[in-house]
Chain A
């Protein structure tokens, strides 16, 4: 008999939004405040795992059709490519650049290639940790 998890489901639906928002905040804040790609990726993973725990794996897979192994590989690829970008521009490998640009609606915004690198880190962390947990949980031990 399947237990009735209404409360858990409802709380999860609300909490996961907050968790994802917090992770994005941690990620974005990383440049100037505590946070960054690694911790942002880990908290995102925590949100995804909460979803897995509350609902079942199949449902989440259907609604979040992500291949986490591909995501991890993509993350590493992005990080390496930002390094190659420095090479293309005649700089050293992994040379990071930043500048302040006036963007309509947002005003003066700092754009840094380091953020791209951090996106790679976050993707790698999310992909790896979720795929580890998925492969363990799917295994009939």
Chain B
């Protein structure tokens, strides 16, 4: 176990301590103060690795977990992993500090909160630095589970539970698909290590499982990262406490899918299907999210759709960037790799400004009592600091200077313009749509950013509409974390290359087609001169401002889109239909009637056996028996048939019992003429006993409803019975004609020498196969005790019931 392993395991270890700390000091000191040291330690420790990673190196260590199966906790810390790990732990620190002031010490079950949060943090860290795909899947599901627990943190609310369930169903569905994809990859490449998979990329690309593995992996990534059409769980996950929304559903967990796509780009990149799926779904999500965000009246829902939209943006950049693998070197490759670079840059930026915005919304919610933009307004004068942070965050998200969103948005446009020139994959003509969709989505992004900024802070303050009478600025502790993020947003704009050199380029090295850091030529500059991108940005601003101020004139157009065609109602009706159809299906065949179940069993028997016999073409037997058929055999058989039919056709139950007894005694005769004296003796006594028991049952039939009538004829029963009889007759004939081996009975003929007994049957029963006999008498004893218990206990119970 290395120090890195310790870092990943630290959140899990801390969860063990939390309940004790909470119990001992929870009522005096907010538990979050203890928790904050965990991500802080992780963050600082990871920073210590930064210099080495920045030089283009990586750190790999391993810890055995199930070595016999090749499953180990392998850690592979490269640029991409470090960037994610720093985001996770860094924003983790800020979120924990924020939650200390957000979550009430008195009212909330804080130990639960921080245990779930630490579980999530540990799982997420494990996810990004794991090299073993099965270990990766394990923590992937752990993030789903901890997210489920966190969304339903206020479990007494119905909406929280519904949101948690939805998120769980969708992400676990994707997770299982991903597992299948990962197993396929492991089968092709014969390794569980991602690095070794990348090394054997040629083998993987030639395999027939290449496309299925790709699609399954993408399903996992798309569900986790809320891509279209799996995005519906994210808005409902907003029922979680706001620190959780800020942490999980904007900065970290939803980027797990992005991480997976980025990590797998060296394997799948360069394939046209990957390009079209990732870029296409990304753009679709971008447009869908931005259009839906404009309609929202709840601030968190708005941010949820904006997260969906921004994730789509990053995804589409990753898709376009994957084209870099199509080329081997040269200017073209460099241009497409720029898209990958832009994706990483925007991913980082999004984590900063989206985290800040969520915290701002949390402050507004806590201080005013509502998140509804129709009731909020004029908070600018009351909350100057919050307002400042909101300005920075939302303008950065809109892509305006001097904030980091501007830089990554420019690079996004560059990437999309580059994508328009894609001509090496099929369906070339459609790529012209890429910059158009990107531009339209950016306009809507601009509009919802302004809604987010203007509605709560500008206009007039309507105190009568707010649940809280006294609205004031948030405490310092709640303002510090978003301030840090906002400062970061501005600093990155002015010093982008510091971030680029230390984090982004090493990260690009691990996902792009480069072999060393020196090959990466990108410099981030705020000003490229008057090029297409800047005109596009100006267009976004102009059109966005126009549309924003005329929002009342066109907003109704978006509302025309009917709600019952939305993905949510499709999901809901799908779930309902699944439940109702499965329950009606179950009710259809689970009738509760034993007669039906016996029918199923017999039909299954006949179906399986008959098809087996017919399909194996083995219906062959001859009726020329060696043994002579005597008059005794024939007459006993005839008598048995008559008795059996009597049992079936009689009106009277007594007759049925007696004729059944007759069948039994005829069986005794069969045993006699086939020379089985022991069997004959036993059969005679047992037959007598069972006939007596039948008569006993008959005698005690209730008088009421005891009609003496013939068994009614039912065609299905008749057919089933006939086919069962036929099948087993045919099978018996086939089996007796195909003796593959000689009987072992000759061995038992030495019974006298071996067991000292001349009666072979008895020698077999008590000596050769005595174990069976021992068990059979045990069965007999159990049956006897069973009868005794049933009768004795039943009569007592019956009395009790009657007296009641």
Task: Point out the residues of chain A lying under 8 angstroms from B774, CB to CB.
Answer: 76, 79-80, 83, 94, 117
CB closest residue in chain B, given A83: B774
From known contacts A98-B756, A131-B788, infer whether A42 and B778 are also in contact, taking CB-CB under 8 Å.
Answer: no
B746-781: which have CB < 8 Å to A? Answer: 755-759, 761-763, 765-767, 770-771, 773-774, 777-778, 780-781
From known contacts A31-B757, A96-B767, infer whether A139 and B777 are also in contact, taking CB-CB under 8 Å.
Answer: no
Task: Point out the residues of chain A lying under 8 angstroms from B696, CB to CB.
Answer: 136
Q: How far is the CA of A45 from the CA of B784 in the complex (A)?
A: 14
Q: How far is the CA of A112 from the CA of B773 in the complex (A)?
A: 17
Query: Interface stretch among A2-10, A11-19, A58-66, A122-130?
Result: A122-130
Q: Is the CB of B685 within 8 A of A121?
A: no
Given B761, B778, B781, B787, which contacts A136 in the complex, CB threshold below 8 Å?
B787
Q: How far is the CA of A141 from the CA of B699 in the complex (A)?
A: 10
Pick from B766, B780, B784 the residue with the most CB of A within 10 Å. B766
Q: Is the CB of A30 within 8 A of B762?
A: yes
Q: How far is the CA of A141 from the CA of B685 in the complex (A)?
A: 25
Number of B residues near A (Cβ < 8 Å) is 36
Task: Point out the residues of chain A lying under 8 angstroms from B791, CB to CB.
Answer: 135-136, 139
Task: Point out the residues of chain A lying under 8 angstroms from B766, CB to CB.
Answer: 36-37, 96, 114, 117-118, 121
Q: Is the CB of A132 within 8 A of B788?
A: yes
- Say how far A54's CB is from chain B's closest CB, in angstroms: 16
Q: How far is the CA of A37 from the CA of B777 in the complex (A)?
A: 11
Task: Point out the residues of chain A lying under 8 angstroms from B778, CB to CB.
Answer: 76
Q: How far is the CA of A8 from the CA of B783 in the complex (A)?
A: 32
- Say how far A122's CB is from chain B's closest CB, in angstroms: 9
Interface residue B424 (Cβ < 8 Å from any Cβ of A): no
Number of A residues near B (Cβ < 8 Å) is 45
Interface residue A108 (Cβ < 8 Å from any Cβ of B): no
From known contacts A43-B685, A79-B773, A94-B770, infer whether A32 and B757 are also in contact, taking CB-CB under 8 Å.
Answer: yes
Q: How far is the CA of A102 from the CA of B559 in the complex (A)?
A: 109
Q: How far is the CA of A25 from the CA of B693 in the complex (A)?
A: 27
- Say how far B184's CB is from chain A's closest CB, in angstroms: 49
Q: Is the CB of A76 within 8 A of B781?
A: yes
Q: Is the CB of A93 within 8 A of B771?
A: yes
Q: Is the CB of A39 within 8 A of B678?
A: yes
Interface residue B584 (Cβ < 8 Å from any Cβ of A): no
Q: How far is the CA of A72 from the CA of B785 in the complex (A)?
A: 9
- Say how far B674's CB is from chain A's closest CB, in angstroms: 14
**Interface membership of chain A positions 26-45, coded 1 if the CB is closer than 8 angstroms to chain B and 0 otherwise:** 10001111111111001100
Task: Point out the residues of chain B lying under 8 angstroms from A98, CB to CB.
Answer: 755-757
Q: Is the CB of A129 within 8 A of B689?
A: yes
CB closest residue in chain B, given A114: B766
Q: How far is the CA of A39 from the CA of B682 in the complex (A)?
A: 6
Q: How far is the CA of A110 from the CA of B689 in the complex (A)?
A: 34
Interface residue B700 (Cβ < 8 Å from any Cβ of A): yes
Seen from chain A, the residues whose Cβ lies within 8 Å of a Cβ on chain B are 26, 30-39, 42-43, 46, 69, 72-73, 75-76, 79-80, 83, 93-94, 96, 98, 110, 112, 114, 117-118, 120-121, 124-125, 127-129, 131-132, 135-136, 139-141
Further 15 A-B residue pairs, CB within 8 A, beyond A37-B766, A94-B771, A96-B755 = A30-B762, A31-B758, A36-B678, A39-B682, A42-B689, A72-B780, A93-B771, A94-B774, A98-B755, A127-B781, A127-B784, A129-B689, A135-B791, A135-B792, A140-B795
